[in-house]
Chain A
Amino acid sequence: MNGFEVDGVAIAVFCALFLLVTVLGFVAARWKRGDLDLIDEWGLGGRRFGTVITWFLLGGDLFTAYTFIAVPALVWGVGSGGFFALPYTILVFPLVFLVMPRLWSVASKHGYVTASDYVKGRYGSRGLASAVTFTGLLATMPYIALQLVGIQVVLGGLGIEGEWPLIIAFAILAAYTYTSGLRAPAMIALVKDTLIYATVVVAIIYIPSKVGGWDNIFSSAAQELPQRDEPGALVPGNPDAHVAYATLALGSAMALFLYPHALTAVLSSRSQDVVRRNMSLLPAWTFLLGLMALLGYMAIAAGVNVTEPNNAVPALFVDMFPSWFLGVAFAAIAIGALVPAAVMSIAAANLFTRNVWEEFVRKDISDREESQVAKIVSLLVKVGALAFVIFLPTQFAIDLQLLGGVWMLQTLPAVMIALYTRWFHHRGLLAGWLVGMVSGTWIAASQDFAPVWEIPVLGVTGYTALVALAVNLVVAAVITVLLGGRGRAARRDETRPEEYDELVETREPAPTVGAGVT
């Protein structure tokens, strides 16, 4: 593949750490003990995670292995344009600070497990809820596949070729996700996050000292980038690049918490207060991501020579680190893939079970059967992602993941705006969603999956997802006005305004299920 040499010591350290998290994954079933035959316990950890666990889980879940490979790869390839990941992950937290506590409150009140549950409760519309479900599943699948790509890149860096190690790693992941549910990634996140932090701190102290300091890192990047086939720059120079930079940051920030795996981690926390407090603590991850991004420039300064940008960071590590630490660094990234892959598959399983299976196939499902279906679906989702990576070109998963951001953002009116107002008509929202999905996909495809598009009339180059969202909102608003109140009376809103602000807390131990409400 890329001709990395087999490194015995690094592989040994890597395998030892991998074994450690495997054990943890299975032990997690006994942690904060609950009845894992209930979807609330299996798929949301009983909604009992406090500030610290939520911080580790959300950090491990949002800042995925693929991010840690792809962001520096992008910076290595195009320079400053790839750095939008920093403002993106800065702005996402104040945004979420405003919005997510409302969703947490109303979800805990009504026992919602997914965004589609909420949309159905809010609008009484199966069609709209199904649109949100479909979007979530569609965007999550390639994202899981990309986590596998992350593991593949790391295994390649260790000199391990072929598909079987990947299959083994994923089989192990599937097994403990099945038995332990969300508790497994929550526990593994503790190890993963520690390893990632150690790796990055060592990398940003040690590597600059070996390549002539930060001055040299930035000046080599400034020299090298303009000479690329598609010239990059150390600082975005023209107005087009500025608009692209800002819209990518804003659009990505708005889309992130619409992803099912982000919602799952938010809903698993114990209280609204935990969610809010975490939004001021999670930027520690943003800082780390920014430092990771600079590894792209370090690779330039170190004269790393790779054909595939995704190999820039592994190649840099192989050049710089002694074998044993190489094992730690690569384990950090590979384990970093397991946490989000597990949460994503659980989120997809929750979605499928509650909003497809129960909605359309088995309406009178029992609680036990519900969690059983979710467990099986979490396995199928992983097999699907594995097949994706093995049988289809990697570029396909990358293109689809990019589209995933465009798609997820189209659910913003139905999920996030709905937290504030029910002004939009559900048919308007559905039509807006459809138009947004189709136009966004069409624009992205016609641009050969470049994330930005030169908008006609306006003449600026902006993030496709935001363009599609604008179209979406206009369509939704026009149809809402045209329909007036028609067809609305029959659709009941089961949520009440005060439920969005309530400061309830799910208590330890878990609330007694079946406390005789209905």
Chain B
Amino acid sequence: MKSGDRGAFARWLAGAEAPIRSALRGFAAQVDTEAVLQEALLRAWQVAPRLVPDGRENALLRFAVRAARNLAVDEARRAGFRAPADEEDLARLLDGLALAGPPAGPDPLLRRAIAACREKLPPRPRAALDGRLGAGGIEPDAAVAARLGMRLNTFLQNLSRARKALLECLRRAGVPEAELSP
């Protein structure tokens, strides 16, 4: 990571994304947390090579959480909100991360369960889900829908159906809802 290793950063991202997103939970009604999260992750990439370890765990994750919260506060204020910035809450979160192990990616058992449920999806919801997965967050939904021969609203409805069907399938398979909650 220190040398700008994209592979190492990708492995870090796999575990780091969820806790940073979770730290933005209180801003969900005030700012577009997806945009804030991506901006914070880009800043983490820029800062990683010169980040000085402080002897505690998860220095880059703690930086990214703080960056995300600061960006969210700025965006919320710009939009005229009184941002729900709770410094004590943030300090507790950062202290917890400083003592925790490295962030982990998806659990292998959960991955198998989700893959099995995906196989059971009806064709159009599955096509919509696969289309968005294939777009990798760099292509607008309208372009993905057009490629699949769906109207945008039909595509979005199929995505909703796919996610609901996956969650229902996982529930039946005994996967606790908390596994997929922020």
A and B interact physically = no
List B residues at the A interface (Cβ < 8 Å): none
